[in-house]
């Protein structure tokens, strides 16, 4: 299963969901600091091997249709 987190910030809830379900998390956000923070969190949780981190705007994501089984977008403006 693949999960896309748009505007992920520090990676919540995608890293939590990946830890609970074993899914692959694809974490996207615009600020590089946010992606670095999510990567640090994934490393601490042992999820860096099953997570992908990408600097990307939610309105211009570089993915084909039907690439993901689920999408989350929380606490983003």
Q: pLDDT class for 75, splitting at 50, 70, 90?
A: confident
pTM of the model: 0.91
Residues 21-69: tens digit of each pLDDT: 999 999 999 999 999 999 999 999 999 999 999 999 999 999 999 999 9
Kindly list the structural domains of the chain, giving each domain's residue range(s) and its CATH number in brackets, ordered by start.
Answer: 2-61 (3.40.50.150)
Provide long-range contacts, Cβ within 8 A and 24+ apart, for 68-72. 68/2, 68/3, 68/4, 68/26, 69/1, 69/2, 69/3, 69/23, 70/1, 70/2, 70/3, 70/4, 70/23, 71/3, 71/4, 71/5, 71/6, 72/3, 72/4, 72/5, 72/6, 72/13, 72/14, 72/17
Model confidence at 76: pLDDT above 70: no
């Amino acid at each position: 299963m693949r999960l896309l987190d748009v505007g992920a910030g520090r990676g919540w809830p995608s890293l939590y969901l990946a830890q609970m379900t074993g899914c692959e998390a694809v974490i996207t956000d615009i600020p590089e600091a946010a992606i670095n923070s999510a990567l640090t969190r994934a490393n601490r949780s042992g999820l860096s091997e099953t997570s992908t981190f990408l600097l990307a705007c939610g309105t211009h994501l570089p993915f084909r249709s039907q690439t993901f089984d689920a999408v989350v977008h929380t606490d983003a403006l």
